[in-house]
Amino acid sequence: MFHVLGRYILLMRLSFRKPEKFSVYWAEVMREMVSQGVGSLGIIAIISVFIGAVATVQVAFQLSSPLVPQSIAGSIARDSTILEFSPTISALVLAGRIGSSIASQIGTMRVTEQIDALEIMGVNTPGYLISPKILSGLSMIPLLTIISVVLGLSGGYLACVLSRDIAPADFVVGLRDSFKPIIVTVCAVKSIAFGFIITSVCSYFGFYTSGGALEVGQSATKGVVFSCIWILFADLIITSTIL
Amino acid sequence: MIETQSVYKKFGDNEVLKDITAQFRPGKNNLIIGTSGSGKTTLLKCIVGLHEPTSGDVLYDNQNFTDMHFKERVHIRKEIGMLFQNSALFDSMNVEQNIMFPLNLFTDMSHSEKLDRANFCLERVNLAGKNKLFPSELSGGMKKRVGIARAISMQPKYLFVDEPNSGLDPLTSILIDHLIAEITQEYNTTTVVVTHDMNSVMGIGDHIIFLYDGKKWWEGTNKEIAHTHNKELNDFVFASSFMKAAREKL
């Protein structure tokens, strides 16, 4: 446990050493941003719309009382989407999509001696391979979370239009009612933390892969599983600390 | 010149290298040969710094490489070119990008200068015009040649080659051997080749080190190897009936 933690911290320290040439690293960051950001847009859009819609329908069902104003469903859907559904569910999905890709990509480079080739050239391999992925994750995962929030709330509105359980106008009133900006802060902190966890944990498991194709698969699995556990743990810590 | 001084390497309780002291001379094809598991690749990895020796030193032109930390080693590593057993080309880059990669990182050359250098290296390994192909589109022999082109792109002082003939047909193997020998002469590199291919040994072995059970068992040239009385070396070199027959004719 402490051995793994120590190795992880050392790897992160090496990852943020001064780059050999900034322009080469910058090109890698841009490539990763396209891969992580644009590549994940489809899956994030689909899950966000559906989760937003389902959350709204369920809240409407649970609060179906003449004593409770219908607009409250909008407020609850907004808070749960911004606080939990968009950052956490998106992060868990992205751990599968981005995390497994990172771990298997770096793991394959390790077992096919591509990392050795980089080291022989004098390249700081953790810096070249890991830091662009982390920087991209730190910027793209919050952006994807913002998109997820917008689409999740749009999904809730769509559910109101289609199901007629709540009047769409009431849903919009609920969205705007008693809004506390702190929930946006929590959402932003979570998405940045989750971005770091997904990219760094999966990079770690990929980087220390040894063996062959079987071990690359195992590294990807371990990366995703540990990322998910750490995401849920960080979720609890951040929520209980800030709220 | 590269020297190893009393290099030992242990993995757990398994001592893979035992007291290896050797010199690898510039302008020569220095071959490390031996049976599978004798420690050839481990020795090569200790020399280039992919493994740290348990004890002993590796010296590059009298500079102690083993004692250097990462930043100091970078200066020597810029002078190293290496061809890996599986070529280790970067999958996400095409041939041209693979060759230009070290130039992008470590030189201030303009794009056209880097492109000219990449084209020169590709011509040198008889792969002119293959710039835009990806590693997955290349044959085993072509991958080796691109690996050599990448290794010489920075005009290395030291060239390391791990099993250059593995997975290649005899004709391609000979072409790769000749290419390595020519590059050694052209650039006056200190070339270290790990192999167990007897064609390579007899063809380009200017200086041969035979490892047996992790120890340096024999040292000499390809002329001397045919007449040695070292039992373990004879068992290795003349393992096939073809080689035994060839020896009798000598």
Say if residue B169 is in the same domain as residue B214: yes
Q: Is A122 on the interface with B (CB under 8 A)?
A: yes
Say if residue B108 is in the same domain as residue B172: no
pLDDT digit string, tens, across residues A155-191 = 999 999 998 888 999 999 999 988 899 999 999 999 9
Say if residue B167 is in the same domain as residue B46: yes
Residue that terminates a domain, selected from B110, B138, B155:
B155
Say if residue B205 is in the same domain as residue B141: no
Residue contact A113–B70, C-beta within 8 A: no
pLDDT attached to residue B71: 83
Say if residue B65 is in the same domain as residue B92: no
**Does any domain span residue A101?**
yes
Q: Is A120 on the interface with B (CB under 8 A)?
A: yes
Measured between CA atoms, how close is B201 to chain A, in angstroms?
25
Measured between CA atoms, how close is B61 to chain A, in angstroms?
18
Measured between CA atoms, how close is B211 to chain A, in angstroms?
23
Interface probe for B, chosen from A116, A121, A133 (most Cβ of B below 10 Å), is A121
Range of the domain at A111: 21-242
Residue that terminates a domain, selected from B111, B128, B155:
B155
pLDDT digit string, tens, across residues A86-126 = 999 999 999 999 999 999 999 999 999 999 999 999 899 99
Q: Is B25 on the interface with A (CB under 8 A)?
A: no
Say if residue B112 is in the same domain as residue B144: yes
Residue ranges in chain B whose pLDDT is less than 70: 249-250
Say if residue B96 is in the same domain as residue B161: no
Q: Is A13 on the interface with B (CB under 8 A)?
A: no
- pTM for this structure? 0.88
* A/B interface, count of CB pairs below 8 Å: 54
pLDDT attached to residue A106: 97
Say if residue B163 is in the same domain as residue B232: yes
**Does any domain span residue A58?**
yes
pLDDT attached to residue B197: 84
The one-letter amino acid at A187: C
Report the number of distinct structural domains present in chain B: 2
Which among A20, A112, A122 has the least Cβ separation from residue B88?
Answer: A112
Measured between CA atoms, how close is B78 to chain A, in angstroms?
6
Q: Is B50 on the interface with A (CB under 8 A)?
A: yes
Task: Tell me if B21 sits within 8 A of B216, measured CB to CB.
Answer: yes
**Which residue in B has a C-alpha nearest to residue A125's C-alpha?**
B70
- Locate A221 and state its tokens: 């699995």
Range of the domain at B186: 2-79+157-249
pLDDT attached to residue B250: 62
Say if residue B70 is in the same domain as residue B165: yes
What does the alpha-carbon distance between residue B163 and residue B47 come to, in Å, rounded to a whole number? 16
Residue A234's pLDDT band (cuts 50, 70, 90): very high
Say if residue B57 is in the same domain as residue B92: no
pLDDT digit string, tens, across residues A53-62 = 999 999 888 8
Say if residue B10 is in the same domain as residue B131: no
pLDDT attached to residue B209: 94
Report the number of distinct structural domains present in chain A: 1
Measure Cα distances from A113 to B12, B25, B50 in Å. 22, 26, 11
Residue that terminates a domain, selected from B116, B131, B155:
B155
CATH number, residue B214: 3.40.50.300
SS3 per residue for chain A: CHHHHHHHHHHHHHHCCCCCCHHHHHHHHHHHHHHHHHHHHHHHHHHHHHHHHHHHHHHHHHCCCCCCCCHHHHHHHHHHHHHHHHHHHHHHHHHHHHHHHHHHHHHHHHHCCHHHHHHHHCCCHHHHHCHHHHHHHHHHHHHHHHHHHHHHHHHHHHHHHHHCCCCHHHHHHHHHCCCCCHHHHHHHHHHHHHHHHHHHHHHHHHHCCCCCHHHHHHHHHHHHHHHHHHHHHHHHHHHHHHC
Strand order in the sheet with B55-60: B14-24, B2-11, B55-60, B63-64
Say if residue B114 is in the same domain as residue B177: no
